[in-house]
């Protein structure tokens, strides 16, 4: 069960005020982002029910939205979600090789999580970085112009962080 802090709740109140009176449902997607961050990167039923309660809408209205958008995970994911773009422009610049390399290095297939719970590999569709391909989304950032060496470095870095 998640519960937002008093401070977060104040931000949420401000957020809801961006929309007309009675149209608080408009804040649903922004709120789901907050809930997912709070809940370790995914949305379980209790997190969604909590959002429904905050917005005074039906839980089903939340479920149908959470399942529609690709950024919302309705199943647990690893600590770091590696979302590698594989659409045409990235493919022309070797995204397939990057995906294969990550699979081999981490010993997981697409959609799987490493046994230590650190990494999930999720192939993504065009992320608006086609000129800086190949690339991946990692949390709130983009990692662009990927090479095997850069992938090595990134994974070492993230593993290092986990140890500290």
Partner 1 sequence: MGIKLLLEHDKVEGIRYYDAYRKHGGYRAAEKAFKMSPADIVEEVKKSGLRGRGGAGFPTGMKWSFLAKPEGVPRHLVCNADESEPGTFKDRYLMEFHPHLFIEGLLISSFALGSNATYIYIRGEYAWIPDILEQAIAEAKNNGWLGKNILGSGFDCEIYVHRGAGAYICGEETALIESLEGKRGNPRMKPPFPAIQGVWMRPTVVNNVETIAAVVPIINIGGDEYAKIGIGKSTGTKLMSACGNINKPGVYEIDMTISVEEFIFSDEYCGGIPKGKKLKACIPGGSSVPILPANLLLKTAKGETRLMNYESMSDGGFVSGSMIGSGGFEVFDEDQCVVRHTMTLARFYNHESCGQCSPCREGTGWMYKILKNIEYGKGKMSDIDLLWDIQRKIEGNTICPLGDAAAWPIAAAIRHFRDEFEWHVLNPDESQKRNYGLAHYADPIHVAATA
Q: Which is nearer to ligand FES, 87 or 97 (CB)?
A: 87
Instruction: Determine if 82 is a binding residue for ligand FES (CB under 6 A).
Output: no
Tallying the residues shown for the chain, one arrives at 164
Element (H, E) at 34: helix 28-38
Tell me how many residues contact ligand FES (CB under 6 A): 12
| Closest alpha carbon to 147 in 95, 104, 83, 105 | 95
Instruction: Determine if 39 is a binding residue for partner 1 (CB under 8 A).
Output: no
Q: Which is nearer to ligand FES, 11 or 110 (CB)?
A: 110
90-109 residues in contact with partner 1 (CB under 8 A) are: 91-93
- Please identify, among the stretches 1-9, 67-75, 105-113, 156-164, the one whose residues bind partner 1 according to the rule CB under 8 A: 67-75
Phi-psi region of 49 (alpha: psi -120 to 50; beta: other; left: phi over 0): alpha
Strand partners, 85: 124
Q: Minimum distance between the CB of residue 29 and partner 1, rounded to whole angstroms? A: 5
């Amino acid at each position: 069960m998640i519960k937002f802090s008093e401070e977060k709740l104040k931000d949420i109140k401000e957020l809801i005020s961006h929309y007309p009176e009675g149209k608080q449902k408009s804040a649903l997607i922004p709120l789901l982002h907050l809930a997912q961050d709070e809940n370790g990167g995914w949305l379980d039923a209790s997190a969604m029910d909590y959002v429904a309660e905050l917005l005074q809408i039906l839980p089903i209205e939340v479920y149908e939205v959470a399942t529609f958008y690709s950024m919302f995970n309705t199943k647990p994911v690893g600590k770091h979600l590696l979302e590698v773009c594989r659409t045409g422009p990235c493919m022309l610049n070797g995204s397939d090789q990057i995906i294969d390399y990550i699979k081999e290095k981490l010993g997981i297939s697409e959609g799987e999580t490493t046994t230590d719970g650190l990494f999930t590999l999720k192939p993504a569709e065009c992320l608006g970085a086609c000129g800086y391909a190949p690339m991946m989304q990692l949390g709130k950032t983009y990692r662009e112009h990927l090479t095997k060496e850069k992938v090595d470095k990134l994974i070492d870095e993230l593993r290092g962080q986990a140890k500290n």
